[in-house]
Structure 1
């Protein structure tokens, strides 16, 4: 994959970034193991005997960002081997989760769903339930501390099953056991190509029978058929990334007469794209991550993608339900405020459009209706 990305801000976006940071935001696609603080990773690695490429926090963050921008998937994934290695005890999971909440609050996030795979955190004997309980304890500590300061941040867990490990049935049962204790939904993550949702169809049926909502990583490392399978076999209510739905959108070869008498070209939606748009299936888009992982490479005319090649704006203009996310804040070197500022600079969005993305995400969240309505009022009042 070849990509060209830029730092989180340029001189022209600094003031906008600060304005966005002060406003309430919604984050639906953020991996717990991709968002550690560099200093925390260094401290925990030292205690656990995990060797890092550097023990300087700024240098470590820079290395991960350079790896993510390199175009090498192997280098991109280096960080996850290190972060999961230090997240193997209840104490460490609790700390990482608490700091996760604190960092979201510092960026102005008021509602988030954090996804992670408990099965990846059992190397030192934790049970799946113990791992979930530790993360929930950390999240609650963080939320309670902010509440004491009259600040609001609400965070729910999404239990992820790794596609390559065939433990989806266990993960579903885990989600069912903790659905009233912090877990709000389910996800499958890991290699998309070769591990379709249909492989886990019984697990998704069990989720549906238990009335637990699901989001599915699809349309990132694989194309339209992966999205179709997420919708059919995975019964996905949201799509993790989903950007390659744009491959199911085309332009007519022959012009048609427009209302003003000139020539225009018709936008043609394939069956999957039409289903996703017409039923407002939410797309959890992560702009910088999509650039770094090569998800938007098919849309670059010269083979070198930049953020302006991202189909985000086209999808938004066509009426798709799009939201903005970070995916992995440490690995990609981003914040949610920075991602919004990046899109504003790339596509000329005003605050009104950026507010739309928050409401899209909130209304597609796995919160209850009453909670969504309360947060929606808070967000709309602030963004006005």
Structure 2
């Protein structure tokens, strides 16, 4: 099992972020592989790689991901999805994914992935979902054996450019009581609005399956509008560009005036969760309108204005990160303390695609864990 970094101490604190109970909402299965696992699985399926040892491969993927372009960032997934085409490969990746979440102190996670991308070696859509679920359950058992209680649900993802959204929505509903907790809409955001999949979203609404939509990352406010109206999104995947609908004007050294536009006001008033992923947002250029460093990220602006912000990794491999590391980076950039980090986790617990009673129990575990920190 990979272990999370053990030196992630929060600023001005003896608290190790790894020890804090955390909720992970936006974490891609094909973005969380261990480099060594990629090497071994690639050898089994005959996939050529750009490096032949784990350290070099991990470094190559991180460098290739740090391009400032979502399109270039997504190309690294050709490698990871390439080794996830067999039942054994899918099961192993899912099992290790859960092991790594547990090692990072995650107590509830939602793992998103696109079954349609894992069919090249003859598996059916249902078979790949079953293989991933078997791996998840094995990983949960491993964590339990190590004294850690974790719960993990699948978010079945439809790729917005592939025009299979209704088929994938039906797949998600078929497996809703066998590990699937919701539906995601991902891929090349710009040029592929949720309105193209309106039939799928209508179907999901009729079945009361919760939906999150990637929006406000590679495209702006119209993408967010489409996610809310056409996609009926209960959460926004990233959603960082909602800040384009917010204007701040400094009157003097002590006074700043903020004007919130109609889309941002709706997202705020309805407390629609934002699945923000700080390191990834820097890598893909999602925040280039505000700057190139973490201190420029609109995260703090959104938090201070009362938006329901959550902290996520997006792709742990591509960003060479963990959820604990993302919390430490935010604390260093914006001066957050434990009470702020607890708010982010409680926000995520409230946003989880779980029954109300389960979310309340999750919130209690978080509060108890932070109280002991």
TM-score (norm 1): 0.92
Once the two structures are superposed, residues 284-334 of structure 1 have per-residue CA deviations (whole angstroms, 9 ceiling, x without a partner) of 00000000000000112xxxx111110000000000000000000011111
CA contact (8 A) 2:11 2:331 kept: no
Alpha-carbon distance between aligned partners in 2 of 1:126 and 1:245, rounded to the nearest angstrom: 39
Tell me if the contact between 2:158 and 2:165 (Cα under 8 Å) persists in the aligned partners: yes
Looking at structure 2, the residues matched to 331 and 251 of structure 1 have their Cα atoms a distance apart, in angstroms, of 33
Verify: 1:381 aligned to 2:368, yes or no. Answer: yes
Per-residue deviation at 1:270? Answer: 0.5
Choose from 42, 49, 52 the match for 2:49: 52
Q: 2:283 matched to which residue of 1?
A: 292
Give, in whole Å, the separation in 2 of the partners of 1:118 and 1:46: 22
Residues 85 and 120, structure 2, Cα contact 8 Å, conserved in 1: yes
Q: 1:19 to 1:238 in 2, by over 3 A?
A: same
Shift of 1:73: 4.8
In structure 2, C-alpha distance between the alignment counterparts of 1:357 and 1:313, rounded to whole Å: 12
Q: How many residues align structurally?
A: 367
Match of residue 207 from structure 2: 210
Alignment of 1:137-216 (within 5 A): 137-216=134-213
The one of 336, 357, 362 aligned to 1:370: 357
Unaligned 5+ segments in structure 1 are 1-7, 257-261
Secondary structure in structure 1 of the residue aligned to 2:236: strand
Q: What's the CA shift for 1:64?
A: 1.3
With normalisation by structure 2, the TM-score equals: 0.94
- Residue 111 of structure 1 is matched in structure 2 by 108
Please list, as runs of the form range in 1=range in 2, the aligned pairs for 1:250-289 lying within 5 A after superposition.
250-252=247-249, 255=251, 264-289=255-280
* Conservation of the 8 A alpha-carbon contact between 2:30 and 2:81: yes
Q: CA RMSD in A?
A: 2.0
Name which of structure 1's ranges 312-321 and 263-272 shifts more when overlaid on structure 2. 263-272
Which residue of the other structure, out of 77, 80, 86, is the alignment partner of 1:89?
86
Shift of 1:75: 4.7
Q: Counterpart of 1:226?
A: 223
Given that 1:17 and 1:337 are in contact with CA atoms closer than 8 Å, whether structure 2 keeps it comes out as: no
Runs of 4+ aligned structure 1 residues displaced above 4 Å come to 8-18, 72-75
State how far apart, in whole Å, the 2-side matches of 1:141 and 1:38 are. 20
